[in-house]
Amino acid sequence: MADLALNMATRTLPLSGVHGGSSVARLEPASPAARLSLRARSEDVAALSTALGIALPVKPKTSASSHGRTALWLGPDEWLVIDEGQGGLLQAANDCAAPHSATDVSHRNTAILVSGPGAAMAINSGCPLDLSLKAFPVGACSRTLFGKIEVVLLRTAEDAFRVEVWRSFSDYAFGLLSEGARDAAL
Amino acid sequence: MLLIHCPYCEDDRSELEFRWAGEAHIARPEAISEISDEEFAEYFFLRNNEKGLTYERWRHIHGCGRFFNAARDTVSDRFLMTYKAGLPKQPVPVADKMAATAEEKTVETWEATEGDAR
Ligand SMILES: [Zn+2]
CB-CB under 8 Å, A150 with B65 = no
CATH at A129: 3.30.1360.120
For A142, the closest chain B residue by CA position comes to B63
Which pLDDT does position A86 carry in this prediction?
A: 79
Q: How many CB pairs under 8 A join A and B?
A: 41
Which pLDDT does position B107 carry in this prediction?
A: 55
Residue from A72, A61, A63, A176 nearest A124 by CA: A176
d(CA B18, CA B65): 9
Cβ–Cβ under 8 Å, residues A151 and A164: yes
The total of structural domains in chain B comes to: 1
Expressed as residue numbers, the domain containing A92 is 34-105
* Residues A120 and A98 both lie in one domain: no
Burial class (CB in 10 A: 0-12, 13-18, 19+), A150: middle
Q: Which residues of chain A have pLDDT under 50?
A: none
Chosen domain end from A105, A128, A143? A105
Amino acid letter, A130: D
Instruction: For A22-65, give the secondary structure using H, E and C.
Output: CCCCEEEECCCCEEEEEECCHHHHHHHHHHHCCCCCCCCCCEEE
Domain assignment present for B117? no
Considering only CB atoms, which chain A residues are within 8 Å of B16? 128, 145
* pTM to 2 decimal places: 0.88
Question: Chain-wide mean pLDDT for chain A?
Answer: 95
Which pLDDT does position A105 carry in this prediction?
A: 97
Which pLDDT does position B78 carry in this prediction?
A: 92
ipTM: 0.90
Considering only CB atoms, which chain A residues are within 8 Å of B13? 128-129, 144
Name the DSSP letter for residue A137: -
Which pLDDT does position B117 carry in this prediction?
A: 46
The total of structural domains in chain A comes to: 2
CATH at B9: 3.30.2270.10
d(CA A46, CA A50): 6
* Residues A76 and A127 both lie in one domain: no
Which pLDDT does position B118 carry in this prediction?
A: 41
**CB pairs under 8 A, 24+ apart, for B93-97?**
B97/B53
B10 touching chain A per CB within 8 A: yes
Per-residue pLDDT in tens (0 to 9) along chain B, 118 residues: 899 999 999 999 999 999 999 999 999 999 999 999 999 999 999 998 889 999 999 999 999 999 999 999 999 999 999 999 999 999 987 766 666 666 655 555 555 555 554 4
d(CA A123, CA A183): 11
Expressed as residue numbers, the domain containing B42 is 3-112
